[in-house]
C-alpha cells in the first residue's frame, strides 16, 4: 500500500514519453502491445460500408468482407494512394475503385487487373493489415509487432448482450488526461457534486487515497467518512495500459479504454455490465440527450459546455448539467491538447495518477528493452484478472482494505441501498 504526500512534477521528457502515441514513439509502441478498441460493432453492421478510422495517428480502413471476416488495412491503396474506404466489397476482399486492386483481410493483394497476365507483382506486395476481434459489442485490433497476445478475459466484455452496454465518446485532448481523471477519486467531491452539500452525502468529504500495484496495473482506494460512524470505501482499477475499471455498485462495473485518435484527441470506449439482472432501458440510454451525432458531447468547448451560472448557485457545483461525461470533458479539454505536466503540483489525493504514470514509464522501458510489458497475456492459465470495483459503506472500525474479500457479510451496505433506505433517492 502506497502513500505519497507530495511529488515532483514530470520532466518534459517523461511527459512526452507518456503522451506521444504515433508509430515509432515509445509510448505508442507500448499501447500497440495490447488489443485496442477501434469501433463499436454498431458502426459496422454486416454488409455495411467500409469505415475510415484513425487510431494512434494511423489512418486505416475497417471492413467486413463478403465472408463477414473483419479487416483493418492501411487507408491508402498501395498502388497510388486512393482512399480504400470508398472501395468495393467483393471477391473475398476490398477492391480499390481507382484501378481495381483487391486486398484480403490479411493485407495480401489478390488481384491487380491492369498488370499483364501471369504477373507475380501482386504476390510480392503486402499491404498494412492488423488482426481484429469482435467482443462485447466492440471491434478490437492488435496493432503491435509479432504474435498478438491472448485477448484478455475481462468480465464486462463477456457479459450477455442484455446485461451490458457498450459506448464511445469523443474527447478533444490527449488520451492521458481522461485516463488520469478516472484514477482521481477526489474530483467526485467537487466536479460531479451537487449543491448544497447535503448532510450525509457520501462524496461530501474529500477522501484519503491509497494505492497498490497488481499484476494488471493497480488499485486505487478512496476512504471517506460516512454518517453514523461508518466509512464510505471505493476502489477503482488502473488496467495496463489505457484502461480503467470504475463504477457504482449495481452488481457490476464499467471498463473504459482511452484510445488515442492522435495525440490531441481520443475515443473513450466503455462497457458497463451487471451480473445479476439485465440493464434496464434507462441504464442503457441515460444521458442520450447529452450526445450529438458522431458520439460527441452536445456540451463542448465551442459552446462553453453550456455552463449555467444560476445552477451553480443552487444545485450544481460545475453548472454543467447532470452527466459526468461533459463535466469531465470541460476540465480535461481545458488543460490544453496535451497537458504540460512539468507545471503541476500534485497533492496527497493524486496517488492514483502517480501509480499509473510510474507503471507506464516502467512499461515503456520494458518495451524499449525488448521485453513484454506487464499484463500482456500469453498463457491461457493466467488469463483471469482480479479486476474488482467495490463501492460500499462499512462500519468505521472495519478493515477497509480487506472488507471486500467478504463484502456480502452483514454490516457492509451498498451505498445506493443505504441512500434508498434513507429516502434520499
- Least separation in angstroms between residue 106's CB and ligand FES is 18
Q: Which of 3, 48, 80, 314 binds ligand FES (CB under 6 A)?
A: 80
Q: Does residue 101 touch ligand FES according to CB under 6 A?
A: yes
Give dist(CA 29, CA 23) in Å, integer.
7
Binding residues with Fe ion: total (CB under 5 A):
2
Binding residues with ligand FES: total (CB under 6 A):
9
Q: Does residue 180 touch Fe ion according to CB under 5 A?
A: no
Give dist(CA 411, CA 189) in Å, integer.
24
- Least separation in angstroms between residue 124's CB and ligand FES is 16
> 3-state DSSP call for residue 161?
helix
Dmax of the chain from CA atoms?
84
Q: Which segment (75-83, 184-192, 286-294, 377-385) binds ligand FES by CB under 6 A?
A: 75-83
Give dist(CA 403, CA 422) in Å, integer.
23
| CA proximity to 66, closest of 97, 101, 91 | 91
Q: Which of 99, 193, 388, 398 binds ligand FES (CB under 6 A)?
A: 99
Supply 126's cell numbers: 503486402
Provide CB contacts within 8 A for 313, sequence distance 6+. Answer: 195
- Least separation in angstroms between residue 95's CB and ligand FES is 8
The nearer residue to ligand FES, 77 or 157, going by C-beta atoms, is 77
Q: Does residue 77 touch ligand FES according to CB under 6 A?
A: yes
CA 147 to chain CA centroid, Å, is: 23
- Least separation in angstroms between residue 13's CB and ligand FES is 40
Q: Does residue 133 touch ligand FES according to CB under 6 A?
A: no
Q: Does residue 63 touch ligand FES according to CB under 6 A?
A: no
Provide CB contacts within 8 A for 350, sequence distance 6+. Answer: 7, 184, 186, 209
Q: Which segment (50-58, 74-82, 112-120, 328-336) binds Fe ion by CB under 5 A?
A: 328-336
> 3-state DSSP call for residue 96?
coil
Q: Does residue 96 touch ligand FES according to CB under 6 A?
A: yes
Supply 161's cell numbers: 448482450
Q: Which of 155, 249, 263, 328 binds Fe ion (CB under 5 A)?
A: 328
The residue written with cell numbers 451537487 in the block is 194
Query: Between 307 and 326, how does the x/- string for binding to Fe ion read (CB under 5 A)?
Result: -----------------x--
Give dist(CA 128, CA 62) in Å, integer.
12
The nearer residue to Fe ion, 179 or 357, going by C-beta atoms, is 179
Residue pair 178/261 in contact (Cβ under 8 Å)? The answer is no
Give dist(CA 423, CA 425) in Å, integer.
6
Residue 328's binding partner among Fe ion, ligand FES, none (Cβ under 5 to 8 angstroms by kind) is Fe ion
Supply 43's cell numbers: 458502426
Provide CB contacts within 8 A for 83, sequence distance 6+. Answer: 52, 61, 75, 76, 77
- Least separation in angstroms between residue 346's CB and Fe ion is 17
Supply 100's cell numbers: 481495381
Residue 157's binding partner among ligand FES, Fe ion, none (Cβ under 5 to 8 angstroms by kind) is none
User: Footprint of Fe ion on residues 85-114 (CB under 5 A)?
Assistant: none
Q: Does residue 301 touch ligand FES according to CB under 6 A?
A: no
Give dist(CA 348, CA 6) in Å, integer.
6
Q: Which residues bind Fe ion (CB under 5 A)?
A: 324, 328
Q: Which residues bind ligand FES (CB under 6 A)?
A: 77, 79-80, 82, 96, 98-101
Amino acid at each position: 500500500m502506497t502513500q505519497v504526500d507530495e511529488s515532483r512534477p514530470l520532466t518534459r521528457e517523461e511527459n512526452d514519453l507518456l503522451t506521444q502515441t504515433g508509430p515509432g514513439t515509445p509510448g505508442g509502441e507500448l499501447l500497440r502491445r495490447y488489443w485496442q478498441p477501434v469501433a463499436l460493432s454498431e458502426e459496422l453492421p454486416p454488409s455495411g460500408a467500409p469505415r475510415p478510422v484513425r487510431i494512434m495517428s494511423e489512418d486505416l480502413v475497417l471492413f467486413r468482407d463478403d465472408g463477414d471476416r473483419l479487416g483493418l488495412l492501411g487507408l491508402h491503396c498501395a498502388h497510388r494512394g486512393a482512399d480504400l474506404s470508398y472501395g468495393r466489397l467483393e471477391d473475398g476482399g476490398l477492391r480499390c475503385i481507382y484501378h481495381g486492386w483487391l486486398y484480403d483481410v490479411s493485407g495480401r493483394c489478390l488481384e491487380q487487373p491492369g498488370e499483364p497476365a501471369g504477373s507475380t507483382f501482386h504476390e510480392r506486395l503486402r499491404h498494412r493489415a492488423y488482426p481484429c476481434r469482435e467482443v462485447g459489442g466492440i471491434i478490437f485490433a492488435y496493432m503491435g509487432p509479432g504474435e498478438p497476445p491472448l485477448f484478455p478475459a475481462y468480465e464486462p466484455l463477456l457479459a450477455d448482450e442484455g446485461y451490458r452496454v457498450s459506448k464511445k465518446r469523443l474527447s478533444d485532448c490527449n488520451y492521458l488526461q481522461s485516463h488520469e481523471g478516472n484514477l482521481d477519486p477526489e474530483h467526485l467531491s467537487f466536479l460531479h457534486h451537487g449543491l448544497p452539500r447535503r448532510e450525509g452525502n457520501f462524496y461530501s468529504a474529500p477522501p484519503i487515497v491509497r494505492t497498490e500495484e497488481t499484476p494488471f496495473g493497480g488499485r486505487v482506494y478512496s476512504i471517506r467518512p460516512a454518517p453514523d460512524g461508518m466509512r464510505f470505501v471505493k476502489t477503482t482499477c488502473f488496467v495496463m495500459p489505457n484502461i480503467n475499471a470504475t463504477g457504482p455498485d449495481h452488481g457490476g462495473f464499467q471498463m473504459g479504454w482511452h484510445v488515442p485518435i492522435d495525440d490531441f484527441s481520443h475515443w473513450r470506449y466503455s462497457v458497463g455490465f451487471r451480473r445479476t439482472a439485465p440493464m434496464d432501458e434507462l441504464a442503457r440510454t441515460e444521458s442520450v440527450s447529452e450526445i450529438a451525432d458522431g458520439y460527441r458531447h452536445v456540451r463542448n468547448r465551442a459552446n462553453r459546455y453550456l455552463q449555467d451560472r444560476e445552477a451553480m448557485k443552487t444545485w450544481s457545483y460545475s453548472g454543467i448539467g447532470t452527466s459526468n461525461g461533459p463535466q469531465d470533458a470541460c476540465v480535461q479539454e481545458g488543460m490544453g491538447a496535451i497537458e504540460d505536466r512539468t507545471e503541476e503540483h500534485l497533492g496527497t489525493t493524486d496517488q492514483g495518477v502517480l501509480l499509473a504514470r510510474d507503471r507506464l514509464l516502467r512499461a515503456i522501458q520494458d518495451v524499449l528493452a525488448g521485453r513484454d510489458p506487464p499484463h500482456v497475456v500469453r498463457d491461457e492459465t493466467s488469463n483471469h484478472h482480479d479486476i474488482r470495483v467495490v463501492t460500499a459503506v462499512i462500519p468505521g472500525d472495519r478493515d477497509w482494505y480487506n472488507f471486500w474479500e467478504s463484502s456480502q457479510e452483514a454490516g457492509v451496505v451498498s451505498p445506493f441501498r443505504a441512500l434508498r433506505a434513507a429516502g434520499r433517492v
